[in-house]
Chain A
Amino acid sequence: MVALSDLKKISDVEWEIPTAFRADMRVPVAIFATRELLEAIAGDKSLDQAVNAATLPGLVGRVVVMPDMHQGYGFPIGGVAATEYPHGVISPGAIGYDINCGVRLLASQIELDRVSDELDDLAMSLNRHCPSGVGVSGHYRLNDKELDQVMREGAQWALKKGFASEADLGRTEEFGSIQGADPAKVSQRAKQRGANQIGTLGAGNHFIEVDVVDKVFDEDAANVMGLREGNLTLMIHCGSRGFGHQICTDYVRDFQSIVPKYKIQLPDRELVCAPMNSAEGKAYFGAMNSAANFAFANRQLLAYHARQAFEESLAGRVKNWHLHQVYDIAHNMGKVETHKVDGKNMEVCVHRKGATRAFGPGTPGLPGEFQKIGQPVLVPGSMGTASWVLVGTEGSMARSFGSTCHGAGRTMSRSKAKKTVRGSELRAELEARGIHVQAGSLPGLAEEAPQAYKDVDEVVETVARAGIARKVARLRPVAVVKG
């Protein structure tokens, strides 16, 4: 087990586990954390999981973990690993079951003061319009042809159907439609699980939240994004639902038997992988991109319904109730990108599991309006606490494969949270602080209590100090919808 004494201090916010720590490590592990956050991280097995991740064949640079890191399965949550493309491997478990789980932020010109009395109604309306909860179906059941289109086109499909605008897509990672999807590599079972789940939020830590822009730290970047202090925003956190879960399940199962074929030895079977240029690696990549497009379309549909809820609750009561997209980002993905490794540009497959892409200013592929400020990064906090808007930097490009943190990061198990916190009391406490709550399940609410998470402000402060993101704005929640 990794002890804090095994870590080499690089700075107050950066640490390293050298390859000498264990014989099977191929690259070092870099940890962005303060001493205090490190101590919280050391309470579970996440550092050991990071060391296991450092054994994947074809890794380059170093495995990077973020301050919101916590124990997952196989690969730690908050981890980033880049493998040489196309000879290195791709590992489904290093991306996660909820492929393209991500966050979408929409902003408005609605001043909080003008709608304080409407927030309860707005939360109920959001809950009505946006299907959430376990096993809940959406407003749409896709036939085979439509599901195929969603897999290939992502949010572009939603645009054709009238659920999106060009402006929405322009402000979505990969413009809402990632290349390389191959629906033929998606199982019938995944299609069955996904067909009626498009446009649904799900449960667990997924949510829709109305926030107010509490404080702007970078006026120029906030102006580009349309964020203004005192105005409402809407955040959506969810992914590819059962469709993505089944794709990851299928490939983790199939890769169990092909690992020996490629003479790959791993410390944990959940890390199974295949070379990117193998038939198996290409098949997973095609299926994973199909799930990524499903998730982009899913968040787009939820945004469409959230806009309906805003119209229903606020049209006629405020002059401009419209929501415009700030950005939509993935934080569970594997992507082929170009990064500088040992001073040379190299194509790599960047695995991000609970880590957000954070491209710095001038990075090719960013929309023109973000070229100067860098890519927006959306960091939801735990329920009832702040969320953050950041931007990628030159530092994130140089030191973390264009990546940064993705949230607060759990410190307490769900069962312990339920024993420690009563859902009804938590709801009353949030309501007393002016946060309107619509929750499908009170025990589910308790599991997501802020006490179960690290302090998101400390996480964000750490990535800002480390130079792998820059603060733009802090958001404060005023209404929460949870499945």
Chain B
Amino acid sequence: MNMLENAGFEEREHTADWSLHVWAPDLAGLIEQAAKGMADLSGIKTDDKERVTRTIKIESTDAEGLLVNFLTELLHLMDTAGLIFDTFNLVVAENVVNAKMEGSPILERKKEIKAVTYHNLKIEKKSRGLEAEIVFDV
């Protein structure tokens, strides 16, 4: 569990797959926490001597779509480029996320996430900001 004061993530029980509860003051923070949570679930070891940067642009019709599409893009980069990111500079405009990310090559990945799902996904406004629960197919 990563428990920063007002942003973080924690794994929740799910019979077959993985469920990640994330919270943050705003959507950019929520997406960042979800990205870090997904990396944490994947059990990744990195080559920290080599640093890489990537700039991506994600679009969708709503906030949940942005969250799923962003994580899916990271999954794609894990699978095809062998990269994982730990530092994010995210700018969220209406239905668009522009991200500058810094990370490292993956040395070891213990767990495979097949996909990020929309299952019961709803970003809700609560007392500490935005919260969501994301189910991953594993």
Contacts and interface: CB of A to CB of B under 8 A. Distances in A.
Given A73-B135, A413-B14, A97 B121 contact: no
B17 A73 contact: yes
Contacts of B135: 73
A252 interface: yes
B72 A253 contact: yes
Interface residues of A, number: 43
A410 B138 CA distance: 13
A270 interface: yes
A143 to B, nearest CB: 16
A411 B64 CA distance: 29
A204 interface: yes
Measured as residues with beta carbon below 8 angstroms from the partner, the interface class of chain B is 35 or more
A269 B114 CA distance: 18
B61 A135 contact: no
Interface stretch (B32-40, B75-83, B86-94): B75-83
Contact of B120 (A77, A97, A268): A268
Contacts of B121: 269-270
Given A245-B137, A256-B61, A412-B15, A134 B116 contact: no
Interface string A287-315: 00000000000000000000000000000
Nearest to B61: A257
A427 interface: no
Contacts of B120: 268, 270
Interface string B4-25: 0000000101111110000000
B117 A444 contact: no
Contact of A71 (B14, B64, B109, B115): B14
A249 interface: yes
Interface in A258-289: 268-270, 272
Interface string B118-138: 111100000000000001011
B138 A270 contact: no
Interface centre among A44, A98, A256, A443 (most CB of B within 10 A): A256
Given A193-B80, A257-B61, A135 B15 contact: no
A411 B15 contact: yes
Contact of B64 (A77, A269, A272, A415): A269
B49 interface: no
Interface string A79-104: 00000000000000100111000000
A349 interface: no
Nearest to B65: A256
B18 A270 contact: no
A142 to B, nearest CB: 14
B112 A270 contact: no
Given A192-B80, A414-B138, A441-B110, A73 B117 contact: yes
A245 B116 CA distance: 10
A230 interface: no
B59 to A, nearest CB: 11
A256 B11 CA distance: 26
Contacts of B80: 192-193
Given A193-B76, A414-B18, A245 B111 contact: no
A416 interface: yes
Nearest to A98: B114
Given A98-B114, A253-B69, A272-B118, A71 B15 contact: yes
Contacts of B110: 134, 441, 443-444
A203 B17 CA distance: 13
Interface of B: 11, 13-18, 42-43, 60-61, 64-65, 68-69, 72, 76, 78-80, 82, 106, 109-112, 114-121, 135, 137-138
Interface of A: 44, 46, 70-74, 77, 93, 96-98, 134-135, 189, 192-193, 202-204, 242, 245-246, 248-249, 252-253, 256-257, 268-270, 272, 410-416, 441, 443-444
For the complex of A and B, 5 pairs with smallest distance between CB atoms? A73-B119, A269-B118, A270-B119, A73-B117, A71-B15
6 contacts: A73-B117, A134-B109, A193-B79, A245-B137, A256-B118, A444-B110
